[in-house]
């Protein structure tokens, strides 16, 4: 008999766990609250630490037509437009870390994981809300979940449960009783631009970060390079934002309101950057929420329940690794559950292996934000350092060289 796993949440983390566990012989059942999967979230970058895992799962070839393979990561001054430094991402990255650096649409990554999980026999139930999980079921051999589906509440038992309900995880709050995520005071304005519609000088196949005081802009190609994913990250609060707005990937602002906000945030930006921003015709805004970095293994597993992805370790997107850490979690979880028959022990081993890595990435993302948004003498020192030693400063061997499946 196959052991079974109930997965709460069908985002990147949930689908990655379904795939990795079903590859190890588990019967996975994913419960997703949304009635259908929407094209939310715009672009993601995946470093070699993550593409290495996707390759190990046999997805290397399927990734190729979906992804773009940028040649460089450029750091530029938002004010002068100067290229302060660059890191080669193409062949050099592949040679150094054994896997590529790619950029793609989140929906394409999600579809890739979803389809591969289905092929392995995963069952995906949409419009299915996991309302509660009891890690210590009476018999001691199973977890039990309450699931709301088609207006009915059902009790479902499983050998193991995975909490993958994202940054606003209610299940985490039930299990760990450590409150809800807090707004970080950072906002992400996101849009997609069709490269063919842009004047030639604004098209780009690189990852570019434009750094200004208290704000930065990132753009990179997605969908095989045909689209440019553009994100403006600012510091500040959004007046009139409700709790519901905070829980959506897709809060939409009027274009007039957005242009007003972005002009204020990027006052003094160079003409080229203004032109890129001005090319957008619609924006989505996402107030970024977070928690303090993970403090221990107990935040990753409770009995027969594992917490993964943003539910366990929400992070600022400034190292571009939130989805990446969800995929690393999935790989490690399946490795332990595949090798160790005692499920609580396997989850304890998973938690012990993952929490410090995730905490390190959460801290690194905060530090990167401070560097990107620096002003005054710190900004001056940053720019000088990048001019003389960019490849060394921009590479992240501790991050990209990490082999979760070693």
Ligand X SMILES: Cc1cc2nc3c(=O)[nH]c(=O)nc-3n(C[C@H](O)[C@H](O)[C@H](O)COP(=O)(O)OP(=O)(O)OC[C@H]3O[C@@H](n4cnc5c(N)ncnc54)[C@H](O)[C@@H]3O)c2cc1C
User: Is 107 among the residues that bind ligand X (CB under 6 A)?
Assistant: no
User: Is 364 among the residues that bind ligand X (CB under 6 A)?
Assistant: no
Using CB atoms within 10 Å of the CB of residue 375, give its burial: 0 to 12 exposed, 13 to 18 middle, 19+ buried: exposed
* Residue spans of beta strands (DSSP E) within 106-168: 123-125, 128-134, 143-149, 152-158, 160-163
Stretch that binds ligand X, among 32-40, 275-283, 337-345, 350-358 (CB under 6 A): 32-40
User: Other CB atoms closer than 10 Å to residue 90's CB: what's the count?
Assistant: 14
* Residue spans of beta strands (DSSP E) within 296-341: 301-302, 305-307
Helix (H) / strand (E) containing 194: strand 182-194
Pick the catalytic residue: 97, 101, 220, 400?
220
Active-site annotation holds for 220: yes
Strand partners, 160: 5
Of 168 and 385, CB closest to ligand X: 168
CA-based angle 199:204:207, to the nearest 5?
150
User: Is 109 among the residues that bind ligand X (CB under 6 A)?
Assistant: no
CB of 8 to ligand X, least distance (A): 5
Which of residues 6, 9, 78, 135 is near ligand X by CB under 6 A?
9
Strand partners, 403: none
CB of 57 to ligand X, least distance (A): 16
Stretch that binds ligand X, among 271-279, 308-316, 366-374, 387-395 (CB under 6 A): 308-316
How far apart are alpha carbons 75 and 211 in whole angstroms?
7
Which of residues 28, 130, 161, 228 is near ligand X by CB under 6 A?
130
* Residue pair 17/28 in contact by the 8 Å Cβ criterion: yes
- Kindly report the backbone phi and psi dihedral angles of residue 124, in degrees, each rounded to the nearest multiple of 5, phi listed first: -115, 125
Lookup: tokens for 232? 């403006």
CB of 113 to ligand X, least distance (A): 10
Which of residues 4, 6, 11, 234 is near ligand X by CB under 6 A?
11
User: Is 324 among the residues that bind ligand X (CB under 6 A)?
Assistant: yes
> Which SS3 state, helix, strand or coil, does residue 221 take?
strand
Lookup: tokens for 69? 């393979």
Site string for ligand X, 253-292 (x = CB under 6 A): ---------------------------------x-x----
Site string for ligand X, 220-239 (x = CB under 6 A): -----------x--------
Helices (H), 266-319: 271-278, 309-312
Which of residues 143, 158, 164, 175 is near ligand X by CB under 6 A?
164
User: Is 293 among the residues that bind ligand X (CB under 6 A)?
Assistant: no
User: Other CB atoms closer than 10 Å to residue 33's CB: what's the count?
Assistant: 17
Stretch that binds ligand X, among 21-29, 154-162, 262-270, 304-312 (CB under 6 A): 304-312
Site for ligand X in 325-344 (CB under 6 A): 326
How far apart are alpha carbons 18 and 7 in whole angstroms?
7
How many residues form the binding site for ligand X (CB under 6 A)?
37
CB of 268 to ligand X, least distance (A): 23
Which of residues 45, 74, 144, 353 is near ligand X by CB under 6 A?
45
* Residue pair 127/289 in contact by the 8 Å Cβ criterion: no
- Kindly report the backbone phi and psi dihedral angles of residue 393, in degrees, each rounded to the nearest multiple of 5, phi listed first: -75, -30
Stretch that binds ligand X, among 82-90, 137-145, 305-313, 384-392 (CB under 6 A): 305-313
Residue that is written with structure tokens 């221990």 in the block: 296
* Residue pair 17/335 in contact by the 8 Å Cβ criterion: no
Stretch that binds ligand X, among 8-16, 74-82, 153-161, 363-371 (CB under 6 A): 8-16
Binding site for ligand X (CB under 6 A): 8-14, 31-34, 41, 44-45, 106, 129-130, 164-167, 170, 188, 190, 231, 286, 288, 309-311, 317, 320-324, 326
- Would you name the residues annotated as active-site residues? 220
């Amino acid at each position: 008999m196959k052991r079974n796993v109930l997965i709460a949440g069908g985002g990147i983390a949930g689908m990655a766990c379904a795939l990795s566990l079903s590859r190890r012989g588990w019967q996975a059942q994913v419960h997703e609250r949304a009635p259908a999967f929407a094209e939310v979230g715009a672009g993601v970058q995946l470093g070699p630490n993550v593409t290495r895992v996707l390759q190990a799962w046999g997805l290397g070839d399927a990734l190729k037509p979906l992804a773009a393979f940028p040649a460089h990561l450029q750091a530029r001054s938002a004010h002068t437009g100067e290229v302060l430094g660059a890191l080669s991402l193409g062949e050099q990255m592949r040679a150094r870390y054994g896997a590529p650096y790619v950029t793609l649409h989140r929906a394409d990554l999600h579809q890739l994981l979803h389809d591969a999980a289905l092929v392995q026999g995963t069952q995906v139930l949409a419009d299915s809300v996991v309302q509660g999980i009891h890690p210590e079921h009476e018999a001691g051999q199973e977890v039990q979940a309450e699931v709301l589906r088609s207006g009915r509440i059902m009790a479902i038992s499983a050998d193991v449960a995975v909490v993958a309900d994202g940054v606003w995880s209610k299940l985490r709050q039930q299990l760990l009783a450590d409150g809800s995520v807090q707004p970080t005071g950072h906002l992400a304005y996101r849009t997609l631009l069709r490269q063919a519609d842009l004047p030639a000088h604004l098209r780009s196949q690189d990852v570019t970060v434009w750094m200004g005081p208290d704000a930065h802009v990132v753009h990179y190609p997605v969908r095989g390079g045909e689209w440019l994913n553009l994100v403006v990250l600012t510091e500040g609060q959004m007046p009139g934002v409700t709790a519901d707005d905070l829980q959506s990937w897709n809060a939409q602002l009027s274009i007039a309101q957005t242009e007003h906000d972005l002009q204020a945030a990027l006052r003094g930006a160079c003409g080229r950057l203004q032109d890129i921003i001005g090319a957008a015709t619609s924006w989505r805004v996402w107030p970024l929420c977070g928690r303090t970095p993970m403090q221990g293994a107990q935040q990753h597993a409770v009995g027969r329940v594992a917490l993964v992805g943003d539910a366990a370790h929400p992070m600022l997107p400034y190292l571009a690794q939130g989805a990446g850490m969800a995929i690393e979690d999935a790989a490690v979880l399946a490795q332990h559950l595949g090798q160790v028959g005692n499920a609580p022990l396997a989850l304890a081993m998973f938690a012990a292996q993952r929490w410090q890595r995730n905490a390190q990435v959460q801290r690194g993302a905060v530090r990167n934000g401070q560097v990107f948004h620096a002003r005054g003498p710190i900004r001056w020192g940053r720019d000088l350092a990048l001019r003389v030693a960019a490849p060394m400063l921009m590479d992240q061997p501790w991050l990209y060289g990490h082999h979760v499946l070693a």
